[in-house]
Structures are given as structure tokens and as C-alpha cells.
């Protein structure tokens, strides 16, 4: 098994916490209740599904697009100000994977153009063989389509690849695709369902790296 496919938000970047912070600021301005609860439910979902879930919660006349644009503007202001950070151990893990000749990919519910923009911001785009965004597939996580697509583009069988996720929907998606789902929790803790679906749960990216190259000592293909 010499391929790892990563989710992006909450796995590579500390972006989910920043998005939640920006939604909380927007909600405070406009009196939107229970914003943390709906944001947690949307973790791992693509833009269309997130919009649908917001409208289901707040009503069909909820001006989601307006508030989403306001939240996004706050988010990118923070990114440009240097407040988006790489998760601990990410750069070291990607460097180790490349050094050992492993294939790497991204399967993110975020639109591909945004994924690439954030990768370029940190100078990481060249570290990935394939980038699959949420707008490149029909169905959102927890549907397995995005991971099936990533494996097909990388030329690997799902059973021979790891998928690294932090969200419940992401773990469901990776497991349904037949991959070895690895959970590194971010905003949400593991549940009994996650413990059943995930092949392994690690406290950090560094612990996963130690598992791969400490225990396995895998040689390049």
C-alpha cells in the first residue's frame, strides 16, 4: 500500500476552525441561531449539500448565498493576513511520502479552484499527484464517488490506498469506497461508528507518519 489520499479542510489546514469562526461572526451580526450545530453537521459536505442543509434548517427564504459570501470574505481576509495555518506535521508527512516514492492525492469537498489556491498559498501543490475537488464529482461525501475518482486518477485500487479524514462524512465516504480510512480528529471526536469504519484513528499527522514509516519501513515502489 503506497498511496495516501488526503482530505484538505481540517486535515491539511486548520481551515474548519477558521470557517467556523467566520460563520460565528456572521451569525452574531445577523442573529442566526445554532450556527455551530449546523456547521458541524455540514463538515465534509460539498457546497451544494451545505447550502441545502442550511436551507432545510433555516427555511427556503433564508438568504444563504448572501451570508455565505459574507463569511467567505471574512475567511479570505484571514487567509491573506496569515491566519490560516498548516496542521502540525503536514509538511513533514508530505515530504516523507515523496521521499519514499508514494503516490499522493487530495479528495476535498471544496471546489478544485479553491483547493489549488490554498495549495499554492502554502507552496504545496507540487506535492500531490492528483487533486479532486467537490465540483469534479456528482455526489458529495458521504457518497464514495470522490474517493473512487481519486483512486482511478491515481491508478490505484481503493483497497491499496489510505484516505486521511477528520469528518464523519469523510470517513463514511472513504470506507464506502473500500479504502483504508484513517481518522485524525479535528473539530469532532471519534464516535463508535467512526471506530468501526476507520482502519486506524491517530491523534496527529505525526503519529500516522510514525505508523507508516516507523513500523512499516516501506521501501519505494
CA distances from 190 to 9, 171, 194 (A): 17, 10, 6
Residue 88 is predicted with a pLDDT of 94
Give the β-pairing of 200-201 and 180-183.
Answer: parallel
Structural element, H or E, at residue 131: strand 130-132
Residue 215 is predicted with a pLDDT of 52
C-alpha span between 203 and 184 (Å, rounded): 6
pTM of the model: 0.89
- Contacts of 115-119 with C-beta under 8 Å, sequence gap 24+, read 115/8, 118/8, 118/13, 118/15, 118/79, 118/84
Per-residue pLDDT of the chain (221 residues; tens, 9 = 90+): 699 999 999 999 999 899 999 999 999 999 999 999 999 999 988 889 999 999 999 999 999 999 999 999 999 999 889 889 999 999 999 999 999 999 999 999 999 999 999 999 899 999 999 999 999 999 999 999 999 999 999 999 999 999 999 999 999 999 999 999 999 999 999 999 999 999 999 999 999 999 999 854 443 33
Amino acid at each position: 500500500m503506497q498511496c495516501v489520499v488526503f482530505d484538505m479542510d481540517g486535515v491539511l489546514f486548520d481551515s474548519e476552525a477558521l470557517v467556523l469562526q467566520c460563520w460565528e461572526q456572521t451569525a452574531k451580526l445577523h442573529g442566526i441561531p445554532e450556527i455551530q450545530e449546523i456547521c458541524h453537521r455540514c463538515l465534509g459536505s460539498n457546497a451544494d449539500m451545505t447550502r441545502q442543509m442550511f436551507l432545510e434548517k433555516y427555511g427556503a427564504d433564508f438568504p444563504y448565498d448572501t451570508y455565505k459570501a459574507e463569511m467567505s470574505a471574512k475567511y479570505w481576509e484571514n487567509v491573506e493576513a496569515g491566519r490560516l495555518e498548516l496542521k502540525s506535521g503536514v509538511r513533514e508527512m508530505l515530504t516523507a511520502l515523496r521521499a519514499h516514492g508514494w503516490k499522493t492525492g487530495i479528495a476535498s469537498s471544496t471546489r478544485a479552484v479553491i483547493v489549488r489556491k490554498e495549495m499554492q498559498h502554502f507552496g504545496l501543490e507540487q506535492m500531490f499527484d492528483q487533486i479532486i475537488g467537490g465540483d469534479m464529482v456528482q455526489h458529495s461525501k458521504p457518497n464514495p464517488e470522490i474517493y473512487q475518482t481519486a483512486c482511478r486518477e491515481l491508478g490505484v485500487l481503493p483497497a491499496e490506498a489510505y484516505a486521511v479524514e477528520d469528518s464523519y462524512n469523510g470517513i463514511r465516504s472513504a470506507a464506502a469506497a473500500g479504502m483504508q480510512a484513517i481518522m485524525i480528529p479535528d473539530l469532532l471526536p471519534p464516535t463508535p461508528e467512526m471506530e468501526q469504519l476507520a482502519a486506524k484513528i491517530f491523534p496527529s499527522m505525526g503519529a500516522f507518519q510514525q505508523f507508516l514509516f516507523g513500523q512499516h519501513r516501506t521501501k519505494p515502489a
